[in-house]
Structure 1
Amino acid sequence: MPDDVRPASLSEGRFDGRAEFDAILRAALSAAAQHGWKEIVFSDPDFADWPLGERASIEALQAWSASGRRLVLLAQRFDVLERAHARFVPWRRMWDHIIECRATGKAAGAEVPSAIWTPAWFVHRIDPERSRGVSGTDAASRRALREAIDECWRLARPAFPASTLGL
């Protein structure tokens, strides 16, 4: 299935609450693996409340990961992700060659959106504190979200290395 076709299993419209957001993320990871999406962008200030450390999430990411794929992670900081998602960190190390991570830090004007972006579909948590937002395929909304992510990416620096080299 081409990247620009949204699988029917993915939601469209408003969502409200952590349980709904978690279910949407799980469905997105499953769809990515099932349909071989080439690129996925995860964006969040710190990924603290994303279910990335769950066994099912890692299994879906493992099934998705292959040559020619790309996962982009944008955050304000990654320290919470490293501490809170113990299964994700080793998976990230193993697949370093398909993952790009950047952090904005405290860059002025760099409010990192809480979102998932793909060429065909998006999720945007407009109110991350209450896990409220929208998901869908609308091209204008998807483009606006990608522009916001790209602007933060431009201000960000490489972060969350797969390994730390030192003397």
Structure 2
Amino acid sequence: MNSEPAIVHFDTRRELEAQWRVLLARAHRRLDLFDPDFASFPLGAVDVEALLRTFLRGGGVLRLALHDPAHIERHYPRFLRVLRDYGHLAQCRQTPKSLRHLPDSFTLADEVHVVRRFHSDHMRGEAAFEAPTVVELPAQRFAALWEESKPSLQSTATGL
């Protein structure tokens, strides 16, 4: 039995999106996402909406932290509907100005899977599956970011 985690390196948007979709499909309990603005992620795609809805219908919890919600507000109405429909299971938070210099980007699933870019200005990164030791450091970073961040992308009575 191989105890080494499955790590896949990527350096294009297409490869990032493919690995990210694999991670979403594997998630069952919790998704933690951090990116400065999520412009490089297909949050508005029909298949991603379906994956997120399936995940949340199954009782999963989604936590998204970002520096600036403007891209999501302008370009991802499907994702905003998911947030509205599953507000009890999906939360978004915006980082304080003191943390907006942080350039990394990562998504964690169930504390065992991660897709991360080493710098948000570039597509180069890696995906690791069934790799709790690889997930440990980004999970600690996410917990600290989440603690410091304030609610964002909140739904209202009229929608968003």
- TM-score range with shorter-chain normalisation? 0.7 to 0.9
Q: CA 1:22–1:44 in structure 2 vs 1: closer, same or farther (change >3 Å)?
A: same
Q: Deviations over 1:107-145 (max 9, x none)?
A: 247626311112111111103222111221433331111
2:107 is the counterpart of 1:153: no
Among residues 18, 32, 45, which one is paired with 2:36 in the alignment? 45
Q: TM-score, normalised by structure 2?
A: 0.85
Task: Find the counterpart in structure 2 of residue 30 from structure 1.
Answer: 25
Matched-pair contact (CA < 8 Å) for 1:113–1:149: no
> Shift of residue 95 of structure 1?
0.7
Task: Find the counterpart in structure 2 of residue 138 from structure 1.
Answer: 131
Paired residue type of 2:37? D
Q: CA 1:109–1:22 in structure 2 vs 1: closer, same or farther (change >3 Å)?
A: closer
Q: CA 1:17–1:162 in structure 2 vs 1: closer, same or farther (change >3 Å)?
A: same
Please list, as runs of the form range in 1=range in 2, the aligned pairs for 1:55-134 lying within 5 A after superposition. 55-66=46-57, 68-108=59-99, 111=102, 113-118=104-109, 119-134=111-126
Matched-pair contact (CA < 8 Å) for 1:75–1:112: no
Task: Find the counterpart in structure 2 of residue 21 from structure 1.
Answer: 16
Count of residues in Structure 1 that have an aligned counterpart in Structure 2: 152
Task: Give SS of 1:129's match.
Answer: coil
> Shift of residue 73 of structure 1?
0.5
Distance in 2, Cα, partners of 1:121 & 1:148:
15
Task: Find the counterpart in structure 1 of residue 3 from structure 2.
Answer: none
Instruction: Out of 43-52 and 111-120, give the one that drifted further.
Output: 111-120
Task: Give SS of 2:53's match.
Answer: helix
Q: CA 1:109–1:103 in structure 2 vs 1: closer, same or farther (change >3 Å)?
A: closer
RMSD: 2.1
Q: CA 1:77–1:126 in structure 2 vs 1: closer, same or farther (change >3 Å)?
A: same
Distance in 2, Cα, partners of 1:42 & 1:99:
11
Paired residue type of 2:63? V
